[in-house]
Amino acid sequence: MLVVAAFILTAVLYFVFKKHHTENGLHKFPEPPGNFFVGHILQAPSTENAIAVTSKFLDYGKTIRLRCGPAACPIIEGLVTKDYNLIEFILSSNKILTKSENYKFLRAWLRNGLLLSDGDYWKRHRKILTPAFHFEILKQFVDVFELVGDIFVKKLEKYEGMSSVDLHPLVILLTLDIISETAMGTKIDVQSGHNSHYLKSVKEICRIVIERAFSPISAFDFSFWLCKDYYKQKKALKVLHGFTSEVLNSKKGQVFEKTTKKMAFLDLLLKFSRDENVLSNDEIREEVDTFMFEGHDTTAAGICFILYCLADHPDVQAKVLQEQKALFGDEKNPAVAYSDLQNMKYLECVIKETCRLYPPVPVIGRYTTEEVNFEGYLIPKRTNIVLFIYALHRNPDFFPEPEKFRPERFENFHTSFPYAYIPFSAGARNCIGQKFAMLEMKSVISKVVRHFEVKPTQPRHELKLSVEAVLKSVNGIKVVLKKRH
Residue numbers of the site for ligand HEM (CB under 6 A)? 99, 114-115, 126, 290-291, 294-295, 298-299, 302, 360-361, 364, 423-425, 429, 431-433, 436-437
Q: Considering beta carbons, is residue 114 or 320 the nearer one to ligand HEM?
A: 114
Q: Considering beta carbons, is residue 114 or 311 the nearer one to ligand HEM?
A: 114
In a 13 Å sphere around the CA of 304, the CA atoms on its Cβ side amount to 30
φ/ψ of residue 364, rounded to 5: -130, 165
Q: Which helix (H) or strand (E) holds 365?
A: strand 363-367
In the complex, residue closest to ligand HEM by CB: 433
Q: How far is the CB of 102 from ligand HEM (least distance, A)?
A: 10
Q: Considering beta carbons, is residue 34 or 122 the nearer one to ligand HEM?
A: 122
Q: How far is the CB of 298 from ligand HEM (least distance, A)?
A: 3
Q: Considering beta carbons, is residue 241 or 352 the nearer one to ligand HEM?
A: 352
CA 271 to chain centre: 28
Q: Considering beta carbons, is residue 145 or 399 the nearer one to ligand HEM?
A: 145
- Beta partners for 374? 377
Q: How far is the CB of 181 from ligand HEM (least distance, A)?
A: 12
The residues, any chain, with a CB within 8 Å of residue 221's CB and separated by 6 or more, are none
Q: Which helix (H) or strand (E) holds 249?
A: helix 228-252
Q: Is 206 annotated as a binding residue?
A: no
| Alpha-carbon gap, residue 291 to 311, rounded angstroms | 30
| Alpha-carbon gap, residue 346 to 58, rounded angstroms | 34
Peptide bond into 74 cis (omega under 30): no
Question: 384-388 and 76-81: which strand pairing?
Answer: parallel
Burial of 365 from C-beta contacts in 10 A (0-12 / 13-18 / 19+): middle
Other CB atoms within a 10 A radius of the CB of residue 246 amount to 12
Q: Which helix (H) or strand (E) holds 467?
A: strand 465-467
Other CB atoms within a 10 A radius of the CB of residue 288 amount to 25
Q: Considering beta carbons, is residue 110 or 480 the nearer one to ligand HEM?
A: 110
Q: Which helix (H) or strand (E) holds 466?
A: strand 465-467
Question: With contact defined as beta carbons under 8 Å apart, do 381 and 370 qualify?
Answer: yes
DSSP state of 428: G
Q: Considering beta carbons, is residue 152 or 436 the nearer one to ligand HEM?
A: 436
Q: How far is the CB of 265 from ligand HEM (least distance, A)?
A: 7
Burial of 26 from C-beta contacts in 10 A (0-12 / 13-18 / 19+): buried
Other CB atoms within a 10 A radius of the CB of residue 256 amount to 15
Q: How far is the CB of 396 from ligand HEM (least distance, A)?
A: 22
Q: How far is the CB of 438 from ligand HEM (least distance, A)?
A: 8
Q: Considering beta carbons, is residue 294 or 323 the nearer one to ligand HEM?
A: 294
Q: Considering beta carbons, is residue 126 or 155 the nearer one to ligand HEM?
A: 126
The residues, any chain, with a CB within 8 Å of residue 397's CB and separated by 6 or more, are none
Binding-site members are: 431
| Binding site, annotated residues for heme | 431
